[in-house]
């Protein structure tokens, strides 16, 4: 896939990847993106989950995030991370991350994260980041139980709920539902 991609649906089958037009650009994340990715991650969580996540969790994410992201981005076996940026400023406004999970999981590929800042919702960035991260491969993901917008987004991309649920205490007790395709 090219460095700047978006999604076009030709009306049948899986969508195809094409150029990302307009003010947004997608590229592979680099180790020097770690601090900005950590800040983006916290901001996206605040916009998505608001008071549903306790403040100490956000504080821990802000404190530990840069190191965690640096570790992921420097390790070639830690999966792939893509970032959406504003063309003019280079500001990170979204990201996707995928990891190969192997044969012991429900699917061999995990969409480990996909977040877009609220001001860019509805612009095609989420679809483009999804296409970069996993294409049309069989994959699975965990989505917050109360995040209907995200569940609808993934359903449009061929994912279905499979009945699995988990509660993540370390993230403030968020209940997640598994979706597969």
CA atoms within a 13 Å half-sphere pointing along the CA-CB vector of 150: 25
Q: Assign 169 a pLDDT band (cuts: 50, 70, 90).
A: confident
Residue at 168 is within a domain? no
Q: Is the pLDDT of residue 11 over 60?
A: no
Q: Is the pLDDT of residue 22 over 90?
A: no
The average pLDDT across 51-73 equals: 95
Q: 108-163: per-residue pLDDT in tens?
A: 999 999 999 999 999 999 999 999 999 999 999 999 999 999 999 999 999 999 99
Residue at 130 is within a domain? yes
Rounded to an integer, what distance in angstroms lies between the CA atom of residue 89 and that of residue 87?
6
Q: 27-51: per-residue pLDDT in tens?
A: 999 999 999 999 999 999 999 999 8
Number of domains into which the chain is organized:
1
Whole-prediction pTM: 0.86
Domain range for residue 13? 6-140
Instruction: Give the domain CATH number at 130.
Output: 3.40.630.30
- The residues, ordered by sequence, that sit 6+ positions from 43 with a Cβ below 8 Å of its Cβ are 117
Query: Do 37 and 69 meet the contact criterion of CB atoms below 8 Å apart?
Result: yes
């Amino acid at each position: 896939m090219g460095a700047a991609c978006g999604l076009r649906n030709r009306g049948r089958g899986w969508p195809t990847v094409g150029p990302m037009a307009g003010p947004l650009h997608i590229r592979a994340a680099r180790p020097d993106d770690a601090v900005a990715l950590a800040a983006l991650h916290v901001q996206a969580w605040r916009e998505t989950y608001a008071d549903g996540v306790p403040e100490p969790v956000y504080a821990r994410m802000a404190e530990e995030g840069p190191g965690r992201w640096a570790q992921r981005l420097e390790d070639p076996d830690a999966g792939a991370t893509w970032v959406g940026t504003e063309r003019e400023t280079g500001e990170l406004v979204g990201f996707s991350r995928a990891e190969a999970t192997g044969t012991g999981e429900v699917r061999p590929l995990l969409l480990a994260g996909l977040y877009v800042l609220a001001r860019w919702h509805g612009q095609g960035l989420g679809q483009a980041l999804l296409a970069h991260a996993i294409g049309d491969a069989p994959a699975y993901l965990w989505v917050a139980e109360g995040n209907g917008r995200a569940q609808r987004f993934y359903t449009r991309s061929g994912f279905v709920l499979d009945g699995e649920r988990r509660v993540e205490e370390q993230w403030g007790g968020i209940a997640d539902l598994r979706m597969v395709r």
